[in-house]
Amino acid sequence: MASLAALTLADARFPGGGHVHSGGVEEAAARGLITGVPDLGSFLSGRLRTTGLVGAAFAAAAVVAAARPDAGWAVLDGELDARTPAAAQRDASRAQGRAALRAARLSWPSPVLDALCAVTPRPHHALLVGAVVGIDGGSPAEAARCLAYLAVSGPASAAVRLLGLDPLAVNAAIVALRPALDAVVAQAAQAAALSPDRLPAPGAPVLDLMAQAHVHHHREQVRLFVS
């Protein structure tokens, strides 16, 4: 049984502001690291296994936290901050979290969201998604799948717009990531009940350094996406 919240949050039409972020694709395309669908598939696979796994694990942990009387949002928030060394990526995550929070409070009003909001009015996107899926009765795996999918679907859609790639071929490239996606979801769901300091923290070096470079280019030159 699928969580309606997980479906809604993963929908490109969800008014959570996800469309302004390219997840590093714009900078990678500007550097010639992505020129066609095969490069994009490789980029997305690396993104999924690093940043995607971190997000999925924290979304899954947020589902577990949301069910507790004392969720411990501050600890999860701090651990996720420490796993996001690029300031530009922390900003992008919190901007998306805040935008999604506005929509979520109308759709899934809950003291759980109030408690998350009391810790920070700009929650990380992964924690917001996990909290909402938890409120909706979804499982850690469902929240992890939502986050993992968003980690590749948003950037893939940005690549279609930036490079004029064939949307059908890009869609097939996303579906081809299925084994990696399943592995990330399984790992994230397994980690959900761990103490937050033991959640996975895989680094994505080039993604991190491009995120910082993108901010400068965004200010100095014309760029389509915020991140």
Partner 1 sequence: MLARARIVVERRGARTVVRELRSQPPLTLLPQRGAVASRSPAATVHMLSSATTPLGGDDVGLEVVVGPGAHLVLTGVAATLALPGQGTSGPSRLVVRLTVGDGAAVQYLPEPTVVTRRADHRGELHAELGAGARLRCREVLVAGRTAEPSGRYLGLTRVVDTATGRPLLVQEQELGDPTLHASGAHLAGRRVLGTEVLVWGEDPPTGLAGEWWSLSPLAGRGSLATAVGTDAVTAGRGLAHAIAGHPGWAATTLTSAAP
Q: Does 92 bind partner 1 (CB under 8 A)?
A: no
Q: Which amino acid is at 137?
A: G
Residue numbers 61-80 binding partner 1 by CB under 8 A: 78-79
Of the candidates 49, 122, 145, 223, which one interacts with partner 1 according to CB under 8 A? 49
Q: Which amino acid is located at 96 in the chain? A: Q
CB nearer partner 1, residue 164 or residue 179: 179
19 binds partner 1, rule: CB under 8 A: no
Question: What is the token pair recorded at 160?
Answer: 């279609």
**Under a CB-based contact definition with an 8 Å cutoff, are residues 204 and 50 in contact?**
yes
Smaller CB separation from partner 1, 90 or 105: 90
CA angle 27, 163, 215 (to 5 degrees): 20
Tokens of 163: 């490079």
Q: Which is nearer to partner 1, 24 or 138 (CB)?
A: 24
Determine if 36 is a binding residue for partner 1 (CB under 8 A).
Answer: no
Among 20, 30, 85, 107, interactor with partner 1 by CB under 8 A: 85
Nearer to partner 1, 32 or 69 (CB): 32
**Least distance (Å) from partner 1 to the CB of residue 4?**
31
Helices (H), 85-176: 87-107, 111-119, 125-135, 140-163, 167-175
Nearest Cα to 54, choosing from 22, 26, 27, 86?
86
Of the candidates 182, 195, 203, 224, which one interacts with partner 1 according to CB under 8 A?
203
